[in-house]
Structure 1
Protein backbone atom coordinates (compact mmCIF):
# COMPACT_ATOMS: atom_id res chain seq x y z
CA UNK A 1 0.00 0.00 0.00
CA UNK A 2 1.31 3.42 -0.93
CA UNK A 3 1.01 5.56 2.19
CA UNK A 4 2.47 8.64 0.49
CA UNK A 5 -0.15 9.03 -2.25
CA UNK A 6 -3.55 8.02 -0.87
CA UNK A 7 -6.53 7.55 -3.22
CA UNK A 8 -9.17 6.70 -0.63
CA UNK A 9 -11.95 5.90 -3.11
CA UNK A 10 -9.97 3.12 -4.77
CA UNK A 11 -9.01 1.70 -1.35
CA UNK A 12 -12.67 1.65 -0.29
CA UNK A 13 -13.60 -0.05 -3.57
CA UNK A 14 -10.86 -2.66 -3.12
CA UNK A 15 -12.07 -3.47 0.40
CA UNK A 16 -15.71 -3.70 -0.72
CA UNK A 17 -14.73 -6.07 -3.53
CA UNK A 18 -12.52 -8.09 -1.19
CA UNK A 19 -15.52 -8.60 1.13
CA UNK A 20 -17.81 -9.23 -1.85
CA UNK A 21 -20.17 -6.63 -0.41
CA UNK A 22 -23.42 -6.61 -2.42
CA UNK A 23 -24.22 -3.20 -3.97
CA UNK A 24 -27.71 -3.36 -2.45
CA UNK A 25 -26.23 -3.62 1.05
CA UNK A 26 -23.97 -0.63 0.39
CA UNK A 27 -26.83 1.44 -1.05
CA UNK A 28 -29.08 0.65 1.93
CA UNK A 29 -26.38 1.40 4.50
CA UNK A 30 -25.15 4.64 2.90
CA UNK A 31 -28.60 5.74 1.65
CA UNK A 32 -27.37 6.43 -1.87
CA UNK A 33 -27.64 5.19 -5.42
CA UNK A 34 -25.28 2.88 -7.30
CA UNK A 35 -24.05 5.84 -9.38
CA UNK A 36 -23.20 7.74 -6.19
CA UNK A 37 -21.24 4.72 -4.93
CA UNK A 38 -19.31 4.54 -8.20
CA UNK A 39 -18.59 8.27 -7.89
CA UNK A 40 -17.24 7.72 -4.35
CA UNK A 41 -14.91 5.02 -5.67
CA UNK A 42 -13.44 7.63 -8.04
CA UNK A 43 -12.81 10.20 -5.28
CA UNK A 44 -9.22 10.80 -4.25
CA UNK A 45 -10.51 12.50 -1.07
CA UNK A 46 -13.64 11.81 0.96
CA UNK A 47 -15.38 13.76 3.70
CA UNK A 48 -14.95 12.32 7.18
CA UNK A 49 -18.62 11.45 7.65
CA UNK A 50 -18.67 9.34 4.48
CA UNK A 51 -15.36 7.73 5.39
CA UNK A 52 -16.70 6.91 8.85
CA UNK A 53 -19.79 5.27 7.31
CA UNK A 54 -17.60 3.23 4.94
CA UNK A 55 -15.37 2.22 7.86
CA UNK A 56 -18.37 0.94 9.79
CA UNK A 57 -19.86 -0.87 6.81
CA UNK A 58 -16.65 -2.56 5.71
CA UNK A 59 -15.35 -3.01 9.28
CA UNK A 60 -12.02 -1.43 8.42
CA UNK A 61 -10.52 1.73 9.91
CA UNK A 62 -9.71 3.79 6.81
CA UNK A 63 -8.55 6.64 9.04
CA UNK A 64 -5.52 4.54 10.01
CA UNK A 65 -4.24 4.95 6.47
CA UNK A 66 -3.97 8.68 7.10
CA UNK A 67 -2.44 8.04 10.53
CA UNK A 68 0.22 5.94 8.82
CA UNK A 69 0.89 8.79 6.41
CA UNK A 70 1.30 11.23 9.30
CA UNK A 71 3.69 8.92 11.11
CA UNK A 72 5.89 8.51 8.06
CA UNK A 73 5.66 11.87 6.35
CA UNK A 74 4.71 14.57 8.89
CA UNK A 75 7.64 16.82 9.66
CA UNK A 76 8.99 16.26 13.17
CA UNK A 77 7.98 18.86 15.74
CA UNK A 78 10.59 20.94 17.47
CA UNK A 79 9.94 21.83 21.08
CA UNK A 80 10.74 25.50 20.32
CA UNK A 81 8.01 25.74 17.68
CA UNK A 82 5.29 23.97 19.60
CA UNK A 83 2.48 25.98 21.08
CA UNK A 84 1.82 24.68 24.55
CA UNK A 85 -1.86 24.45 25.31
CA UNK A 86 -2.92 23.51 28.79
CA UNK A 87 -6.03 21.45 29.34
CA UNK A 88 -6.20 20.51 25.67
CA UNK A 89 -8.15 17.35 24.98
CA UNK A 90 -6.77 17.03 21.46
CA UNK A 91 -3.21 15.85 21.16
CA UNK A 92 -1.37 14.42 18.17
CA UNK A 93 0.37 11.15 18.96
CA UNK A 94 3.02 9.81 16.63
CA UNK A 95 3.35 6.63 18.67
CA UNK A 96 0.50 4.84 16.91
CA UNK A 97 2.03 2.35 14.50
CA UNK A 98 -0.40 0.55 12.21
CA UNK A 99 0.36 -2.78 10.57
CA UNK A 100 0.73 -0.93 7.27
CA UNK A 101 3.40 1.33 8.78
CA UNK A 102 5.20 -1.61 10.38
CA UNK A 103 5.12 -3.48 7.07
CA UNK A 104 6.38 -0.46 5.17
CA UNK A 105 9.30 0.07 7.58
CA UNK A 106 10.22 -3.62 7.78
CA UNK A 107 10.10 -3.89 3.99
CA UNK A 108 12.60 -1.02 3.73
CA UNK A 109 14.95 -2.84 6.11
CA UNK A 110 14.51 -6.33 4.62
CA UNK A 111 15.05 -5.12 1.05
CA UNK A 112 18.08 -3.15 2.28
CA UNK A 113 16.68 0.15 0.99
CA UNK A 114 17.37 1.59 4.45
CA UNK A 115 19.42 0.53 7.45
CA UNK A 116 18.02 0.32 10.95
CA UNK A 117 19.90 3.49 11.86
CA UNK A 118 18.46 5.34 8.86
CA UNK A 119 14.92 4.28 9.80
CA UNK A 120 15.41 5.42 13.39
CA UNK A 121 16.81 8.76 12.26
CA UNK A 122 14.30 9.47 9.49
CA UNK A 123 11.05 8.24 11.09
CA UNK A 124 11.94 8.81 14.77
CA UNK A 125 10.95 5.28 15.74
CA UNK A 126 12.46 4.21 19.08
CA UNK A 127 15.24 1.66 18.69
CA UNK A 128 13.63 -0.84 21.08
CA UNK A 129 10.33 -0.66 19.21
CA UNK A 130 12.02 -1.25 15.87
CA UNK A 131 14.04 -4.20 17.17
CA UNK A 132 10.85 -5.78 18.59
CA UNK A 133 9.29 -5.56 15.13
CA UNK A 134 12.36 -7.10 13.51
CA UNK A 135 12.46 -9.91 16.09
CA UNK A 136 8.86 -10.86 15.24
CA UNK A 137 9.62 -11.23 11.50
Structure 2
Protein backbone atom coordinates (compact mmCIF):
# COMPACT_ATOMS: atom_id res chain seq x y z
CA UNK A 1 0.00 0.00 0.00
CA UNK A 2 1.29 3.42 -0.93
CA UNK A 3 0.85 5.55 2.17
CA UNK A 4 2.30 8.64 0.51
CA UNK A 5 -0.44 8.94 -2.11
CA UNK A 6 -3.80 7.76 -0.78
CA UNK A 7 -6.73 7.11 -3.14
CA UNK A 8 -9.46 6.32 -0.64
CA UNK A 9 -12.07 5.40 -3.27
CA UNK A 10 -9.88 2.60 -4.61
CA UNK A 11 -9.21 1.32 -1.10
CA UNK A 12 -12.91 1.29 -0.26
CA UNK A 13 -13.64 -0.54 -3.51
CA UNK A 14 -10.94 -3.13 -2.68
CA UNK A 15 -12.52 -3.74 0.72
CA UNK A 16 -16.01 -4.07 -0.79
CA UNK A 17 -14.63 -6.68 -3.20
CA UNK A 18 -12.79 -8.53 -0.41
CA UNK A 19 -16.00 -8.82 1.58
CA UNK A 20 -18.11 -9.43 -1.52
CA UNK A 21 -20.52 -6.86 -0.16
CA UNK A 22 -23.82 -6.75 -2.10
CA UNK A 23 -24.53 -3.36 -3.71
CA UNK A 24 -28.08 -3.29 -2.33
CA UNK A 25 -26.74 -3.52 1.24
CA UNK A 26 -24.37 -0.61 0.58
CA UNK A 27 -27.20 1.42 -0.98
CA UNK A 28 -29.43 0.87 2.05
CA UNK A 29 -26.69 1.62 4.58
CA UNK A 30 -25.38 4.76 2.87
CA UNK A 31 -28.81 5.80 1.56
CA UNK A 32 -27.55 6.43 -1.96
CA UNK A 33 -27.77 4.99 -5.46
CA UNK A 34 -25.46 2.51 -7.18
CA UNK A 35 -24.28 5.32 -9.46
CA UNK A 36 -23.27 7.43 -6.43
CA UNK A 37 -21.41 4.46 -4.96
CA UNK A 38 -19.52 3.88 -8.22
CA UNK A 39 -18.65 7.58 -8.25
CA UNK A 40 -17.23 7.32 -4.71
CA UNK A 41 -14.88 4.56 -5.85
CA UNK A 42 -13.37 7.04 -8.33
CA UNK A 43 -12.75 9.77 -5.75
CA UNK A 44 -9.31 10.20 -4.23
CA UNK A 45 -10.81 11.94 -1.18
CA UNK A 46 -14.14 11.65 0.60
CA UNK A 47 -16.16 13.52 3.22
CA UNK A 48 -15.24 12.38 6.74
CA UNK A 49 -18.82 11.58 7.74
CA UNK A 50 -19.15 9.39 4.67
CA UNK A 51 -15.78 7.77 5.39
CA UNK A 52 -16.99 7.02 8.90
CA UNK A 53 -20.08 5.32 7.45
CA UNK A 54 -17.93 3.26 5.07
CA UNK A 55 -15.65 2.30 7.98
CA UNK A 56 -18.63 1.03 9.97
CA UNK A 57 -20.18 -0.82 7.05
CA UNK A 58 -16.95 -2.48 5.94
CA UNK A 59 -15.65 -3.01 9.49
CA UNK A 60 -12.33 -1.37 8.62
CA UNK A 61 -10.87 1.84 10.06
CA UNK A 62 -9.96 3.83 6.95
CA UNK A 63 -8.85 6.74 9.13
CA UNK A 64 -5.81 4.74 10.26
CA UNK A 65 -4.46 4.97 6.73
CA UNK A 66 -4.37 8.74 7.13
CA UNK A 67 -2.83 8.41 10.61
CA UNK A 68 -0.07 6.28 9.14
CA UNK A 69 0.50 8.92 6.46
CA UNK A 70 0.82 11.62 9.13
CA UNK A 71 3.32 9.55 11.10
CA UNK A 72 5.52 9.05 8.06
CA UNK A 73 5.12 12.26 6.10
CA UNK A 74 4.01 15.12 8.36
CA UNK A 75 6.78 17.59 9.03
CA UNK A 76 8.23 17.24 12.52
CA UNK A 77 7.54 19.97 15.05
CA UNK A 78 10.47 22.21 15.86
CA UNK A 79 11.70 21.21 19.30
CA UNK A 80 12.83 24.80 20.02
CA UNK A 81 9.45 26.42 19.44
CA UNK A 82 6.98 26.68 22.31
CA UNK A 83 3.91 24.48 22.06
CA UNK A 84 0.77 26.11 20.77
CA UNK A 85 -1.97 27.19 23.13
CA UNK A 86 -3.96 24.26 24.45
CA UNK A 87 -7.48 24.16 23.11
CA UNK A 88 -10.51 21.97 23.46
CA UNK A 89 -9.30 19.25 21.09
CA UNK A 90 -8.10 16.01 22.67
CA UNK A 91 -4.36 15.46 22.95
CA UNK A 92 -3.18 11.98 22.07
CA UNK A 93 -0.25 10.59 24.00
CA UNK A 94 0.81 7.95 21.52
CA UNK A 95 0.98 7.71 17.78
CA UNK A 96 -0.88 4.90 16.11
CA UNK A 97 1.65 2.63 14.43
CA UNK A 98 -0.05 0.31 11.97
CA UNK A 99 1.57 -2.84 10.63
CA UNK A 100 2.13 -1.02 7.34
CA UNK A 101 4.08 1.72 9.13
CA UNK A 102 6.12 -0.80 11.10
CA UNK A 103 6.91 -2.81 7.97
CA UNK A 104 7.81 0.35 6.05
CA UNK A 105 10.24 1.46 8.77
CA UNK A 106 11.76 -2.01 9.27
CA UNK A 107 12.26 -2.33 5.51
CA UNK A 108 14.15 0.99 5.45
CA UNK A 109 16.45 -0.31 8.20
CA UNK A 110 16.94 -3.84 6.84
CA UNK A 111 17.72 -2.57 3.33
CA UNK A 112 20.28 -0.18 4.88
CA UNK A 113 18.44 2.72 3.26
CA UNK A 114 18.31 4.38 6.70
CA UNK A 115 20.00 3.78 10.02
CA UNK A 116 18.13 3.39 13.29
CA UNK A 117 19.17 6.89 14.34
CA UNK A 118 18.01 8.39 11.04
CA UNK A 119 14.59 6.73 11.47
CA UNK A 120 14.32 8.05 15.03
CA UNK A 121 15.14 11.59 13.91
CA UNK A 122 13.09 11.66 10.71
CA UNK A 123 9.92 9.89 11.88
CA UNK A 124 10.08 10.75 15.60
CA UNK A 125 9.64 7.15 16.65
CA UNK A 126 10.84 6.58 20.22
CA UNK A 127 14.09 4.63 20.44
CA UNK A 128 12.60 1.99 22.74
CA UNK A 129 9.63 1.45 20.43
CA UNK A 130 11.86 1.03 17.41
CA UNK A 131 14.13 -1.42 19.20
CA UNK A 132 11.08 -3.49 20.25
CA UNK A 133 9.99 -3.70 16.60
CA UNK A 134 13.48 -4.77 15.51
CA UNK A 135 13.65 -7.39 18.24
CA UNK A 136 10.26 -8.86 17.25
CA UNK A 137 11.09 -8.87 13.52
Q: Same fold (TM over 0.5)?
A: yes
1:91 CA drift (Å): 2.4
The answer to whether the aligner puts 1:50 opposite 2:50 as a matched pair is yes
Distance in 1 (alpha carbons) for counterparts of 2:30 and 2:93: 31
The count of aligned residue pairs is 136
- Aligned partner of residue 122 in structure 1, secondary structure: helix
- Aligned partner of residue 17 in structure 1, secondary structure: helix
Q: Which structure 1 segments of 5+ residues have no match?
A: none
Q: Is the 8 A contact 1:71 1:94 kept in 2?
A: no
The answer to whether the aligner puts 1:83 opposite 2:79 as a matched pair is no
Distance in 1 (alpha carbons) for counterparts of 2:72 and 2:94: 9
Corresponding position of 2:65? 65
**TM-score normalised over the length of structure 1:** 0.90
- 1:7-18 mapped onto 2 (5 Å cutoff): 7-18=7-18
The answer to whether the aligner puts 1:109 opposite 2:109 as a matched pair is yes
- Aligned partner of residue 25 in structure 1, secondary structure: helix
Runs of 4+ in 1 over 6 A off after TM superposition: none
Q: Is the 8 A contact 1:9 1:41 kept in 2?
A: yes
**TM-score normalised over the length of structure 2:** 0.90
Distance in 1 (alpha carbons) for counterparts of 2:122 and 2:89: 28
Q: Which structure 2 segments of 5+ residues have no match?
A: none
Name the Cα RMSD after superposition: 1.7
Label 1:44 to 1:81 Cα distance change in 2 as closer, same or farther (>3 A): farther
Q: Deviations over 1:39-92 (max 9, x none)?
A: 000001100011000000000000001111111111111251531226x34225
